[in-house]
Structure 1
């Protein structure tokens, strides 16, 4: 897997879903909706997504202040 940042929340969410790591039902639901819904994330959602990416050892989202 590359260390290049994800271009958007949708691609990051899809990568997390395909990563094969165990997710809670709540996290899976959040990631599924994030993958298909173009609505911008709230600051809290953006922070949660950044945390999930970090825990999974995946790169951050480009331009995300959580990098």
Structure 2
């Protein structure tokens, strides 16, 4: 599974729960689902934070 596919799966899982997401977080996760461009370190950290809040474990 590619990095993009892993990121996409994580983002979709977080969006599926939808609990406590801000509009900005939802927009960012939507971008992660459709845009294969690599994440910046700051974006990767944010995705990891959102995943952690959703009870998921993600490797940067």
Q: Which TM-score applies when normalising by structure 1? A: 0.75
Q: Which has the higher contact order (CA 8 A, sep 6+)?
A: 1
1:27 to 19, 22, 25: 25
Partner of 1:48: 46
Show structure 1 runs of 5+ residues with no match.
1-6
Once superposed, which parts of structure 1, at least 4 consecutive aligned residues long, lie more than 2 Å away?
none
5+ unaligned residues in a row in structure 2: which ranges? none
Distance 1:32 1:38 in 2: 12
Deviation of 1:38 (Å): 0.7
How large is the Cα RMSD of the aligned pairs? Answer: 1.3
More helix by share: 2
